[in-house]
Amino acid sequence: MRRVAIIGAGSVVFCKTLILDIMATEALEETEFVLMAPSTTRTTHVKSYIDRVIAQNSLKATVSITTDRREALTGANYVICSFQIGGLTAFEMDYKIPLKYGVDQCIGDTLGPGGVFRALRSIPVILDVARDMEELCPKAILLNYVNPMAMICWALGETNIQYVGLCHGVQTTLDLISGYTGVPKQEIDFITGGINHMGWFLKLEHEGRDLYPALREKFEQPEFYVNEKVRGEVFRHFGYFMTESTGHLSEYVPWFRHSKKALDLYCDEPAFGGASGAYYNWCVYVGNKYSDADMLTDESSDLPPRSIEYCAYIIEALETGKPFKFSGNLRNNGMIKNLPDDCCAEGLVYADRTGIHRTIVGDLPAQCAALNMTNINVQRLAVMAAKSGDPETVVQAIALDPLTSSVLTLKEIREMVTEMLDAESEWLPQFGNRRPRPTPTVHIPADVKRADVPIDPALAIFARLGELAQ
């Protein structure tokens, strides 16, 4: 039996989906699932449900639970990570503290203050998993679903384990493109490249016909534009369609959430259309509804068809040699030539019996690479901060965040970071008691005279012009 360890199996619905996908794959029927979470409250529910499915469908799979990560990893062939360090409590701080300072986030799990702090909490844990894997299952492959995907996989790219980061932004965006162009999803030929949650459809074709003209035409029609205002605007101005939805994308750029006017114009849709705290509020709703209940009690025991998630298809390819093409997140290493080699890039990846293989996307259009770099700059510093525990690097990472820097001054950013480090300290042991150094305001009296120091000649000219104007 192949052994699949799921680290963070308390994510009930997602864990259930991945297990059902694997069990619905004929070549993977004989699989041992080990579910690991810090407590057995939710994994007990998942095990009970999966046992029902196994019994009803006469499957050869087995499932067990543990709170010991090393026990789960011992002898594993595949490791799936889907944990959230700090849970809803930390997530609330990720959203509400920045909001108090004026940084309005919709999702808050990929970039911005929320994404950076989720990385600070999660990267030390994923690196512990990697070290355990090197010792306990060195040939295993880690399939990562933990966000912020790009920062997590950037850190994993500096280890010795085999890994790939998985998302479903490409699959769900293809559904939208299919609906807008009237072409069945499975008939669309495409190439994507970029970074997670900011990938670009570099080619969109149907039987050799370019689909971009039809897509552009649709985004000039109000009834289509209104569904994806932010993504539509970026498409109209940068020329390529992106793999991420309006709610997410609005957080990664400086143009849509920096003022009430912008929010009202572009992010007024309910749910994930860009509303403030949409994902946090949804998580609170689900948490309250199922806090003491088994979410899977009434779930059917029938084995459904596989979902859109890549996980089962990748394991099938690795086990059988049947090639599978997907969009994966790996250390760039030349996959996208005009992005840094050490960053986490998302592009076309193949899996087969010999492993996971990146392809060469080449250069992104210059404007697309430039927009990616605004996020990569933050990711680099966030990874450095998570590993070093240096609070100054956290300040610098968030100071470079496109949304935060469109709203706050540097001093305000420093104050916000300090408050977040204090509030989330129980999940950030690498920082200890270290905090950003305070920067008091310099009070300038009305009658202050400038210090007698050399002045740039160009500035001196402008100063003189100002004097003459008076």
Which of these is catalytic: 95, 101, 212, 252? Answer: 252
Task: Give the distance from CA 371 to its chain's centroid.
Answer: 16
Asked about 290 being catalytic, the answer comes back as no
Nearest to 113, CA basis, from 90, 130, 136: 90
Residue 248 contacts residue 172 (beta carbons within 8 Å): no
Given 3-state DSSP classes, what are the helix, strand and coil percentages for the chain, each rounded to the nearest 5?
A: 50, 15, 35
Residue 109 contacts residue 420 (beta carbons within 8 Å): no
For residue 76, how many C-alpha atoms fall within 13 Å in the half-sphere facing its CB?
32
Interatomic CA distance for residues 111 and 107, integer angstroms: 9
Asked about 168 being catalytic, the answer comes back as yes
Q: Which two tokens stand for residue 359?
A: 């392809």
Interatomic CA distance for residues 34 and 350, integer angstroms: 26
Q: What are phi and psi of 193, to 5 degrees?
A: -165, 150
Interatomic CA distance for residues 412 and 394, integer angstroms: 13
Residue 237 is labelled as binding a ligand: no
Interatomic CA distance for residues 119 and 196, integer angstroms: 14
Residue 106 is labelled as binding a ligand: no
Place of tokens 């240096």: 390
- State which H helix or E strand residue 187 sits in: none
Residue 404 contacts residue 98 (beta carbons within 8 Å): yes
Residue 233 contacts residue 220 (beta carbons within 8 Å): no
Nearest to 191, CA basis, from 326, 323, 317: 326
> Is residue 16 classed as helix, strand or coil in its secondary structure?
helix
- State which H helix or E strand residue 165 sits in: strand 162-165
Place of tokens 């699949």: 4
- Strand positions, DSSP E, 180-309: 189-195, 198-206, 209-210
Place of tokens 């760039």: 332
Nearest to 81, CA basis, from 125, 40, 111: 125
Residue 433 is labelled as binding a ligand: no
Which one-letter DSSP state was computed for residue 362? B
> Is residue 324 classed as helix, strand or coil in its secondary structure?
strand
Positions marked catalytic? 168, 252
For the annotated binding site, the residues are: 147, 167, 197
For the annotated binding site for Mn(2+), the residues are: 167, 197
For the annotated binding site for substrate, the residues are: 147
